[in-house]
Amino acid sequence: MKPKIMGLVGGLALIFAVGMSLLFINATPNTSALSTEDLSATALCVELTADRVALHSIFGTPTPNPNATPTPLQPLGNVQAGQGVFTEVGKCHVCHEVSSMEELIAPSLMHIASNAMWKREGISAEDYVRGAILRPNELIVPSLKAGIMPTSYEQLLTQEQLNDLVAYLMTLE
């Protein structure tokens, strides 16, 4: 009879302990690298020994807090340098307008950052723009003719210049 009572008491203690721990599930871990703004508890462990019940909130792999404001992604390149690539190296401004919707030889890039995300399903705006620079005839929109935009930018631009150019174009919202 005693083992059943001990099992019952232990079970009730466990239920009580788990219930109480739910009040503290978002407790801050004692480390400067983690904060309650970014993390919440990822696990709750209950340790049963012969003489006590111990609860542990484990902050292992961070779980994003749905109330935290996400940190904006940093552009891959330098925006100011990208503007220089646009005008000086690539001479993109000869065909593409960026300050109005006027079409020169090619479409305006005034809103390319916000429009590029709708061009191809499953491709990010940055990847679409990068692809359109390197392979313009593959990612051309149906209303335009292939063969107008130079296909030599992969040879003309360094990887850094391409990253800078894409970073600049992503500011054109």
List, as one string, the DSSP characters of 6-67.
HHHHHHHHHHHHHHHHGGGTTPPPS-TT--TTTEE--EEEEEE-SS-EEEEEE--S-EE-TT
Adjacent-strand bridge partners of 57: 44
pLDDT of residue 143: 77
pLDDT of residue 30: 45
Would you identify the CATH topology of the domain 79-169?
Cytochrome Bc1 Complex; Chain D, domain 2 (1.10.760)
The pTM of the full predicted model, rounded to 2 decimals, is 0.57
How confident is residue 55, by pLDDT bands cut at 50, 70 and 90? Answer: low
Structure tokens at 62: 């961070």
Q: Which residue has the higher pLDDT, 142 or 93?
A: 93
pLDDT of residue 48: 65
In angstroms, how far is the first alpha carbon of the chain from the final one? Answer: 75
pLDDT at 54 over 70: no
To the nearest whole percent, how much of the chain has pLDDT over 90? 37
Rounded CA-CA distance 15/19 in Å is 6
- The residue ranges of every structural domain in the chain are 2-64, 79-169
Q: Which of 79, 102, 104 is nearest to 168 (CA)?
A: 79
Q: Which residue has the tokens 């992969």?
A: 154
pLDDT of residue 51: 67
| Position 80, amino acid | Q
For 4, how many CA atoms within 13 A lie in the half-sphere containing its CB? 1
pLDDT at 67 over 80: no
Whether residue 77 contacts residue 163, with contact meaning beta carbons closer than 8 Å, is answered with yes
Q: Which residue has the higher pLDDT, 161 or 128?
A: 161
Whether residue 50 contacts residue 10, with contact meaning beta carbons closer than 8 Å, is answered with no
